[in-house]
Amino acid sequence: DAKTTQPNSMESNEEEPVHLPCNHSTISGTDYIHWYRQLPSQGPEYVIHGLTSNVNNRMASLAIAEDRKSSTLILHRATLRDAAVYYCILRDVRSSNTGKLIFGQGTTLQVKP
C-alpha cells in the first residue's frame, strides 16, 4: 500500500483559508487520493477525493499536483467546527483491491477564534 506523509499539526485563524498538505511520492496510477477528518470521539467523516484533476465540493477543495506526488486540501474559510484530525489516504481503484483505507497519523488542525 502506498504511503502518505502529513505534518503532525497546523494552526489557523477562524475565517481564514487553510491549506493542508500531503505527500504521496509512491502513488500508483490506480490510486485515488481521499481525505477524511475526525472530530474528537467520533468516527471519521469523508471530505473529498480525486484522481488527477482538482476537485471542489461543499466542504473543501482538493488540489492535486501535476505529477500526483502531492496534494493539498483547502478549507476556504476555517470555522471552529473544522478543528479536527485530517487524514490523507490513498485508495486503489483496481477491482482486486480490498478497498481498505490505510490511515497514517494525520494532521491535527487547530482553529483559533
Partner 1 sequence: DGGITQSPKYLFRKEGQNVTLSCEQNLNHDAMYWYRQDPGQGLRLIYYSQIVNDFQKGDIAEGYSVSREKKESFPLTVTSAQKNPTAFYLCASSISAGQGNTEAFFGQGTRLTVV
For partner 1, which stretch binds (CB under 8 A), given 14-22, 58-66, 67-75, 86-94? 86-94
CA angle centred on 39, ends 64 and 63, rounded to 5°: 10
Residue 24 near residue 34, CB atoms below 8 Å: no
96 lies in the site for partner 1, by CB under 8 A: yes
Examine residue 46 and tell whether it contacts partner 1 (CB under 8 A).
Answer: yes
Among 17, 26, 93, 110, binds partner 1 (CB under 8 A): 93
List the one residue from 10, 23, 61, 103 that touches partner 1 (CB under 8 A): 103
Which of 12, 5, 34 lies closest to 106, judged by CA? 5
The values of phi and psi at residue 107, to 5°, are -115, 125
Binding site for partner 1 (CB under 8 A): 30-32, 34, 36, 41-46, 49, 51, 87, 91-106
